[in-house]
Amino acid sequence: MGLIERVVSLVFGGGAVGLRDTVEVFRENAERSAQRDHAAQAAALEQFAAEFEHPRKSFFDQFIDALNRVPRPAMALGTLGLFVAAMVDPIWFASRMEGIALVPEPLWWLLGAIVSFYFGARHQLKGQEFQRSLVHSAAAARSLAARRETAEDSLPDTNGRATSPDTSGPQPIIVERSDNAALDDWRKSQVG
């Protein structure tokens, strides 16, 4: 082995593998970088999918969901009950309203904030569930349309044979016109 071969072998590790490893010290391998990026993106998508899946709810989750459904009907029915109470026993109702009038204003602000956050969060949750259902229904519609097209392409003709698009004969050639005359001439020359 000559001196030059030994120096090259020492610097580049002897062969194509050594050269690749040496070059990767100074420049990233684009293919491996793309593979790492793809793996990272696939892992992120799997994580997002796992977060948005609806697992089977436990008894506790179902109980909490039921509790979350109580405040709106309770508030609506309670308000109607106040009107009924005012008509049935006005004196009793007036004494209760005097008690409510004594509630300090900061407490009313706190109650308003709690109710607003409750209904706002509930509205956001229901909106997100609705958006997810739209995405799923749109995907189902696209799948159905694709299956329908496939089924229509294989419908039998009048002789009972399945038909497929006829591509055996000459196909029309469409030459697009543009503002570039040289490009138009070149396209015509390519057609025939």
What's the total number of domains in the chain? 3
41 and 4, same structural domain? yes
Question: Are residues 69 and 47 both part of a single domain?
Answer: no
pLDDT digits (tens, 9 = 90+) for 20-38: 777 777 888 888 889 999 9
Supply the pTM of this predicted model.
Answer: 0.36
Asked if 5 and 31 sit in the same domain, the reply is yes
Domain finish residue from 43, 71, 101: 101
Q: Are residues 108 and 146 in the same domain?
A: yes
CB 13 within 8 A of CB 22: yes
Domain match, 45 and 5 both? yes
Q: What is the pLDDT of residues 94-122, one digit of tens each?
A: 999 999 999 999 999 998 888 888 878 77
Per the domain annotation, does 181 fall within a domain?
A: no
Residue at 169 is within a domain? no
Q: Yes or no: say if 93 and 85 are a contact pair by the CB < 8 Å rule.
A: yes
Residues 112 and 95 in one domain: no
Question: How many whole angstroms separate alpha carbon 137 and alpha carbon 126?
Answer: 16
User: What's the helix, strand, coil split of the chain in %, to 5?
Assistant: 75, 0, 25
> What is the domain extent for residue 126?
103-151
